[in-house]
């Protein structure tokens, strides 16, 4: 622990792993956005640390991207180095502890845990994105917050030093984690799960969660899930619905007919700006009608001038 990237990874030359001018649209669920100046997909801790060093030596900002299912990437692209975590997928089970690197898709993680007779994560079945992204935003579904199952999280600060968060340290709340407002990179997560030999029942529960999502139309059009947080326990979707905003469009973006809190890339050709502008219209209308400020849940990545 606490080794610096320079000491640990002096011999790793990652120049050949760094790609320039990479189109980002296919790396996020909205299917929008410009190019990353540079992008790397590290496959192990050494490469991850070397990537941080590479950016630091060039004074470039870094942006972490997991499954891209909770972000809106600017049409003007992302400056500096994007570190895509989806190459970090190693995982193992020891007793009740299921330990995985942060880039594993959450849905795959749930399947693996079930196969190893470990239960608990099933309500999150079908939730898009990586385990790291879910922990960072304290993802929730079916009455479960992912933070409830965390034993520890190993993360790096932007200098590449290693730290461990222990589950009992606290700091998780609605859509928030100890990593939300920091530049930390979640590297590995350990969940404490429940031994369960009834794997077919667990698999069924997980499938039901996934199917419910499909049936409520969540995947009919590209989106990033809920655009806004629920203000003080009030459903943002209900406020938007009651304001008659379902179906409102701007360019190729539309407020979903299924779920008022989803702004979708309706014609599959919306720009990120269309989606952003529509979110501003919704925000403004709710402010005017309900005197409630809606806080955006979807994270803006890249060159936004606001």
Ligand X SMILES: Cc1cc2nc3c(=O)[nH]c(=O)nc-3n(C[C@H](O)[C@H](O)[C@H](O)COP(=O)(O)OP(=O)(O)OC[C@H]3O[C@@H](n4cnc5c(N)ncnc54)[C@H](O)[C@@H]3O)c2cc1C
Residues 6+ apart with CB under 8 A from 199: 114, 115, 117
Closest distance between ligand X and the C-beta of residue 8, in Å? 19
Please pick, from the candidates 41, 74, 85, 100, the single residue that binds ligand X as defined by CB under 6 A: 85
Output 117 or 183, the one with its CB closest to ligand X: 183
What percent of the residues of the chain are helix, what percent strand, and what percent coil, each to the nearest 5? 30, 25, 40
Output 290 or 300, the one with its CB closest to ligand X: 300
Helical segments of 105-167, H only: 106-115, 131-136
261 binds ligand X (CB under 6 A): no
Q: Which stretch binds ligand X (CB under 6 A): 11-19, 41-49, 61-69, 196-204?
A: 61-69
Residue 252 and residue 263 in contact, taking contact as beta carbons nearer than 8 Å: no
Q: Using only C-alpha atoms, what is the Rg of the chain?
A: 20
Please pick, from the candidates 193, 224, 275, 286, the single residue that binds ligand X as defined by CB under 6 A: 224
How distant, in Å, are the alpha carbons of 18, 31, 68, 76, 266 from that of 271? 26, 9, 16, 10, 11
Output 140 or 273, the one with its CB closest to ligand X: 140
Closest distance between ligand X and the C-beta of residue 20, in Å? 20
68 binds ligand X (CB under 6 A): yes
Q: How many residues at the interface with ligand X, by CB under 6 A?
A: 32
Burial class (CB in 10 A: 0-12, 13-18, 19+), 57: exposed
186 binds ligand X (CB under 6 A): yes
42 binds ligand X (CB under 6 A): no
Separation CA 137–CA 184 (nearest Å): 13
Scan residues 109-168 and list those touching ligand X (CB under 6 A).
Answer: 127-130, 132-134, 136-137, 139-141
177 binds ligand X (CB under 6 A): no
Q: Which stretch binds ligand X (CB under 6 A): 7-15, 35-43, 115-123, 222-230?
A: 222-230
Closest distance between ligand X and the C-beta of residue 218, in Å? 4
Scan for tokens 């999502």, then name that residue.
Answer: 213
Separation CA 298–CA 128 (nearest Å): 14
25 binds ligand X (CB under 6 A): no
Residue 185 and residue 83 in contact, taking contact as beta carbons nearer than 8 Å: yes
83 binds ligand X (CB under 6 A): no
294 binds ligand X (CB under 6 A): no
Site residues, ligand X (CB under 6 A):
29, 64-71, 85, 102, 127-130, 132-134, 136-137, 139-141, 179, 185-186, 218-219, 223-225, 299
């Amino acid at each position: 622990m606490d080794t610096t990237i320079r000491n640990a990874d002096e011999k790793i030359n990652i120049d050949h792993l760094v790609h320039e001018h990479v189109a980002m649209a296919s790396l996020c669920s909205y299917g929008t956005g410009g190019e990353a100046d540079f992008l790397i997909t590290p496959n192990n801790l050494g490469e991850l640390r070397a990537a941080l060093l590479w950016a630091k030596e060039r004074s470039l900002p870094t942006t972490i991207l997991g499954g891209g299912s909770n972000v809106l990437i600017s049409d003007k692209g992302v400056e500096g180095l994007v570190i895509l975590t989806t190459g970090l997928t190693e995982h193992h089970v020891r007793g009740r502890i299921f330990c995985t690197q942060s880039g594993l898709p959450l849905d795959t993680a749930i399947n693996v845990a079930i196969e190893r007779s470990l239960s608990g994560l099933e309500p999150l079945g079908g939730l898009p994105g990586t385990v790291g992204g879910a922990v960072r935003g304290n993802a929730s579904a079916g009455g479960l917050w992912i933070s409830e199952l965390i034993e520890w999280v190993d993360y790096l600060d932007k200098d590449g030093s290693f730290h461990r968060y222990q589950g009992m340290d606290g700091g998780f709340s609605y859509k928030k984690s100890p990593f939300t407002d920091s530049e930390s990179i979640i590297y590995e997560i350990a969940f404490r799960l429940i031994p369960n030999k009834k794997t077919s029942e667990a698999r069924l529960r997980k499938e039901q969660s996934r199917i419910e999502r499909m049936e409520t139309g969540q995947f009919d059009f590209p989106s990033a899930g809920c655009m806004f947080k629920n203000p003080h326990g009030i459903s943002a979707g209900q406020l938007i619905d009651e304001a008659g905003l379902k179906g409102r469009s701007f360019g190729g973006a539309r407020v979903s007919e299924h779920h008022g809190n989803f702004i979708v890339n309706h014609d599959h050709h919306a720009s990120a700006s269309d989606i952003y502008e529509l979110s501003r219209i919704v925000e403004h209308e709710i402010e005017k009608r309900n005197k409630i400020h809606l806080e955006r849940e979807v994270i803006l990545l890249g060159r936004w001038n606001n």
